[in-house]
Amino acid sequence: MTITGWLQILVYCGIVVLLAKPLGGYMHRVFSGERTFLSPILAPLERGLYRISG
């Protein structure tokens, strides 16, 4: 494997490690039914989709 391949793997692993804590906290709030920063945008969209689908 080339140095570029190893660098891509390291960057990918670094991004995953950096995003694990914030994404986990966000998922916890979503599944607990708490309000998140995306709630004002996505809640009306979700209600509309539920109304359309029955």
Q: What is the pTM of this model?
A: 0.65
How large is the average pLDDT for residues 29-39? 91
48 has pLDDT over 90? yes
Number of folded domains that form the chain: 1
54 has pLDDT over 90? no
- Return the amino acid letter for 33: G
pLDDT score at 10: 98
Whole-angstrom distance, CA of residue 47 vs CA of residue 19: 28
Q: How far is CA 3 from the centre of its chain?
A: 30
Domain hosting residue 33, numbered range? 3-53
Whole-angstrom distance, CA of residue 28 vs CA of residue 49: 23
- The residue with tokens 């080339």 is 2
pLDDT score at 38: 86
Apex 41 CA angle, 25 and 21, nearest 5: 15
How large is the average pLDDT for residues 4-23? 97
